[in-house]
Amino acid sequence: MSVDHYENFPVASWLCPPALRPAVQAIYWFARTADDLADEGDAPAAERLARLGTYRQALQQSFAGADVAAGPWPGVFGPLQAVHDLLSAFEQDVHNPVYPDRAALLDYCRRSANPIGRLLLHLYAVDDAESLRCSDAVCSALQLINFWQDLGVDAPRGRHYVPLDDARRHGVTFEQLRERRDDAAVRALVRDLSRWARELMLEGAPLVHRVPGRVGWELRLVVQGGLRVLERIERLGHGTLLRRPTLGALDAAVLPWRALTMRAPTPARAVA
């Protein structure tokens, strides 16, 4: 499957069992197409919201058993189940809201990222509460990492994912971010936010030992890929307002080794 956008993690790669690849691809393309409707091009907000409304209508029609083959997205809706939270998040994106605090941003991640992980776990019949909690942590962490990686791309477009509370605590204004005026305060802000994303990723990392087979190895690469991006951000001195860090050939060699050496957490001993 071809992917037209840079991603921090592989989609339907060879590690995914062949029988599940069509479903994984369908989930990805639903999210990717909706995100493009919200973000890509120069259409005004009203037009992008109208397109997302049409997209939601097509999804609802597919639930009702309607024939979607004649619609504009015949390959997207056939195999999908309910993912209304994703559309809600993408519609929210169109308005470029300000997130007052971390809880508000995590609520966005709950709807924009976490459903993907839960849908994928569903394909593997993994549905216990702890696995779902870890999945949410990994997916939210990946979303946050992408925000801090793309700070210099999003902020000039008026897309402010930095929580207002954090910006104020570091003495940084959204105007400063939009104008890409990098300084020590901005870098301290990115350092703080990156630390938050790392803690969340490590909180969810035990999931790799709870998911069976090749998908567990796929997930190891996802986790290590996210952590590696955070390392790249650190090596830039947290200057992502001016430069976007990416992964390259060296990382492709490092990540499999790190994935291989991930160890399951040691159970805590009961106190007598």
SS3 assignment, position 109: helix
Give the domain extent around 167. 97-261
What is the model's pLDDT at position 215? Answer: 82
- Same-domain pairing of 60 and 157: no
- Same-domain pairing of 133 and 249: yes
- Same-domain pairing of 231 and 126: yes
What is the model's pLDDT at position 223? Answer: 94
What is the model's pLDDT at position 23? Answer: 62
What is the model's pLDDT at position 16? Answer: 58
- Same-domain pairing of 149 and 219: yes
- Same-domain pairing of 74 and 205: no
What is the model's pLDDT at position 36? Answer: 84
What one-letter code names the amino acid at 23?
Answer: A
Q: What angle do CA 251, 257, 259 make, to 5 degrees?
A: 95
Residues near 81 by beta carbon (within 8 Å), at least 6 away in sequence: 119
Boundary residue ending a domain (95, 130, 152): 95
- Same-domain pairing of 140 and 101: yes
> Considering the entire predicted model, what is its pTM?
0.75
- Same-domain pairing of 187 and 68: no
Boundary residue ending a domain (95, 119, 141): 95
CA distances from 188 to 56, 169, 191 (A): 40, 10, 5
- Same-domain pairing of 80 and 211: no
Q: Is residue 255 part of a domain?
A: yes
Boundary residue ending a domain (47, 70, 95): 95
Q: Of 221, 159, 231, which Cα lies nearest the Cα of 195?
A: 231
Residues near 150 by beta carbon (within 8 Å), at least 6 away in sequence: 240, 244
Distance CA(86)–CA(108), nearest Å, equals 9
Per-residue pLDDT of the chain (272 residues; tens, 9 = 90+): 333 444 444 444 544 556 556 666 777 777 788 888 887 777 888 888 898 888 888 777 766 656 655 566 665 665 454 466 677 787 888 888 899 999 999 999 998 888 888 888 877 878 899 999 999 999 999 999 999 999 999 999 999 999 999 999 999 999 999 999 999 999 999 999 999 999 999 999 999 998 878 888 889 999 999 999 999 999 999 999 999 998 888 888 899 899 889 987 765 454 44
Please answer whether residues 225 and 257 qualify as being in contact, where contact means their C-beta atoms are separated by less than 8 angstroms.
Answer: no
Q: Is residue 60 part of a domain?
A: yes
Instruction: Give how many domains the chain has, as a whole number.
Output: 2
The CATH number given to whatever domain includes residue 200 is 1.10.600.10
